Structure 1
């Protein structure tokens, strides 16, 4: 099952230092780098490259590029159906594009990277839940 593989791989990234635009387990990653690194290790390739991005990329570029990319590569599902192994996108305010991502570990925890912290397992409490922009199922693995 893909979800089990996604969570197992994400767990191996715990403690990886935060590095803007990084995507190397144990060396450094940001939240998007974590997702791309896990995807690459589980599926063997990254379906699309984001290109270089600044810290304010989402506000400066217009649109909702993270959400749009997730919709191209994964299947969206209702927030209430979130399960282990799902991709979660967050927006800091309702009028801003999605700018943070994590991998669900059950309905109450997530693995993510954010500035000032290594990749960590965090509670998915009300502070985070009210900022969810979308929940997505990673594609099934091809055998």
Structure 2
């Protein structure tokens, strides 16, 4: 099994995990960053960094913290060439920091966690494509 397939399989194992801000425990709770952290642990081993505590409105502070962390640990790729296993970052509006992340399962689908719902696999609809700002690959893919 390729690393990308391992990442997709691990991400799918998180489906149904309830949303819980700042958490990263499969079947217990996670937010979008917690999902990414948990998939890293499940597919690659110990995560490289623990995030500092953050509030639900952390991105409104203006710093592009999520994008900076992605640049530190992931390999940037073309957001128009999304593949299974890629990490996707989204901005709600042009010029704002990236505030949401997901893991692509294919060019057409992704797994994500969001407030008020369990981790789910959804289609990357035109709305999501308009808000997709960056794509990254895990190291070694």
**TM-score range relative to shorter protein:** over 0.9
Native 8 Å contact 1:111 1:122 kept in 2 = yes
Aligned length: 140
Give the superposition deviation at 1:43: 1.3
2:34 matches 1:33: yes
SS at match of 1:106: coil
Instruction: Give unmatched runs, 5+ long, in structure 2.
Output: none
- Residue of structure 2 equivalent to 1:7: 8
- Residue of structure 2 equivalent to 1:20: 21
> Equivalents in 1 of 2:91, 2:111: separation in Å?
16
Q: Deviations over 1:20-77 (max 9, x none)?
A: 00100000000000000110111111111111000111112x3211011101111111
Instruction: Give unmatched runs, 5+ long, in structure 1.
Output: none
- Residue of structure 1 equivalent to 2:69: 69
CA RMSD of aligned residues (A): 1.0
Regions of 4+ moved over 3 Å: none
Q: Deviations over 1:68-87 (max 9, x none)?
A: 11011111111121100000
Native 8 Å contact 1:2 1:139 kept in 2 = no
2:47 matches 1:46: yes
Pairs within 5 Å for 1:62-141: 62-140=62-140
